[in-house]
């Protein structure tokens, strides 16, 4: 429970009344939930959408539907689902829009399903619909040890690209290599611009950037003529200012992606991507890397790990008897 804005440590674990079910909603007995970087920003009151305290934190979950509103069709009690919301997921029970939940494919456990939603959907939409990544292309992923980054590494490889992972530690790069990255760059060990030039003398086709800060311009400079740079987030805490002449001189495109309004602006692509991604999940070709798991009582520690950039892949909160 967040009773006032601040760092993750302001959170308290409390027994509170179960949330009320409204029209169009379903109630879920949560098995597992997963941490996303925006959770940290929402608690701090620094996210683009403000949530006035008090509120229960958490934006993605998996579990079993225990109640559906009268006007809901297509979601049945007992259904194993995963879903996303702005807040409310780090709890034994959550109430969310029926339209925000999807059926979990057979054989996928709650931890995997909870950790899948935001990272893999973001990465897949970015690669498939925004960058339009093609087999055989050179893909550079910044923040490649993080939730979005590791998903982009895995899905980039699935889509047939050669993946260069950029991260800050050998442990993060090892995780990226295990998911399909074949070129590894530790940006703490070397100047990123030079390291990328060495790894990719002919340049990259696509850069995925969930980090921002000083890494962005160096990565943009690694693009070859006609390359695409997708800005996804600013985990470094700094929104970079890019000299526009670089775009002109290199003939590259800088593109943006925002999860919350993607379905509104690109409904056809959203449906296609979702169907393809669910098939990859069911086949086991798309799987989140879970770097750490915490019990609900230790939610603040889980958020701290993500806030400090220390997480490898996804951080999961075990809520119930996560299968």
Q: Restricting to residues 104-133, name those near ligand NAP by CB under 6 A.
A: 118-119, 122
Instruction: List CB contacts of 9: < 8 A, sequence separation 6 or more.
Output: 300, 304
CB of 314 to ligand NAP, least distance (A): 7
The CB-of-312 to ligand NAP minimum distance in angstroms stands at: 8
The answer to whether residue 306 forms part of the interface with ligand NAP (CB under 6 A) is yes
Nearest to residue 315, comparing CAs of 93, 81, 127, 150? 150
Does residue 54 have a cis bond before it (omega within 30 degrees)? yes
258 binds ligand NAP (CB under 6 A): yes
Name, in order, each residue with C-beta under 8 angstroms of 53's C-beta and a sequence gap of 6 or more.
2, 3, 4, 5
Kindly state the smallest distance separating residue 24's Cβ from ligand NAP, in Å: 23
294 binds ligand NAP (CB under 6 A): no
Judged by CB under 6 A, the number of residues near ligand NAP is 29
The yes or no reply on residue 38 touching ligand NAP (CB under 6 A) is: yes
d(CA 131, CA 175): 23
State which of positions 173-212 bind ligand NAP (CB under 6 A): 210-211
User: Nearest distance from residue 149's CB to ligand NAP, in Å?
Assistant: 5
Q: Could you say whether residue 149 binds ligand NAP (CB under 6 A)?
A: yes
Query: By C-alpha distance, which of 108, 113, 119, 106 is closest to 179?
Result: 119
Question: Shortest distance, CB of residue 35 to ligand NAP, whole angstroms?
Answer: 8
Q: How far is the CB of 38 from ligand NAP (least distance, A)?
A: 5
When asked if residue 168 is in the footprint of ligand NAP (CB under 6 A), the reply is: yes
Per CB under 6 A, the segment of 4-12, 216-224, 256-264, 266-274 that binds ligand NAP is 256-264
User: What residues numbered 205-244 form the site for ligand NAP, per CB under 6 A?
Assistant: 210-211, 232-237
Minimal distance, residue 115 CB to ligand NAP, in Å: 10
95 binds ligand NAP (CB under 6 A): no
- In order of 1, 86, 130, 131, 229, the CA distances from 232 in angstroms are 28, 18, 11, 11, 10
The residue from 31, 88, 117, 147 that contacts ligand NAP (CB under 6 A) is 147
Binding site for ligand NAP (CB under 6 A): 36-38, 118-119, 122, 143, 145-149, 167-168, 172, 210-211, 232-237, 257-259, 306, 309, 311
């Amino acid at each position: 429970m967040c009773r006032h804005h601040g760092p993750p440590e302001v959170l308290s674990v409390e027994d509170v009344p179960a949330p009320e079910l409204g029209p169009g909603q379903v109630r879920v007995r949560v098995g597992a939930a997963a941490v996303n970087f925006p959770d940290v920003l929402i608690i701090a009151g620094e996210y683009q959408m403000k949530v006035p305290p008090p509120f229960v934190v958490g934006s993605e979950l998996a579990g079993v539907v225990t109640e559906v509103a009268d006007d809901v069709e297509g979601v049945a009690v007992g259904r194993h689902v995963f879903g996303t919301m702005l807040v409310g997921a780090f709890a034994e029970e959550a109430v969310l829009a029926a339209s925000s939940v999807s059926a979990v494919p057979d054989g996928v456990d709650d931890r995997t399903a909870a950790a899948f939603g935001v990272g893999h959907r973001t990465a897949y939409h970015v690669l498939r619909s925004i960058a339009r990544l093609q087999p055989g292309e050179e893909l550079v992923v910044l923040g490649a040890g993080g939730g979005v980054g590791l998903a982009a590494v895995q899905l980039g490889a699935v889509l047939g690209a050669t993946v260069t992972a950029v991260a800050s530690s050998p442990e993060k790069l090892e995780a990226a290599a295990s998911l399909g990255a074949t070129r590894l760059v530790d940006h703490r060990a070397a100047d990123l611009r030079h390291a990328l030039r060495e790894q990719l003398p002919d340049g990259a086709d696509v850069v995925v950037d969930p980090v921002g800060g000083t890494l962005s311009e160096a990565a943009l400079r690694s693009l070859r003529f006609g390359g695409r740079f997708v800005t996804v987030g600013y985990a470094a805490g700094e929104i970079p200012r890019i000299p526009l002449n670089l775009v002109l001189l290199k003939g590259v495109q800088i593109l943006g992606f925002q999860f919350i309004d993607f379905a509104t602006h690109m409904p056809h692509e959203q449906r296609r991507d979702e169907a393809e991604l669910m098939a990859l999940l069911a086949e086991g070709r798309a799987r989140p890397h879970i770097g750490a798991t915490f019990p609900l009582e230790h939610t603040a520690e889980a958020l701290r790990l993500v806030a400090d950039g220390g997480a490898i892949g996804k951080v999961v909160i075990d809520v119930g008897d996560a299968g």
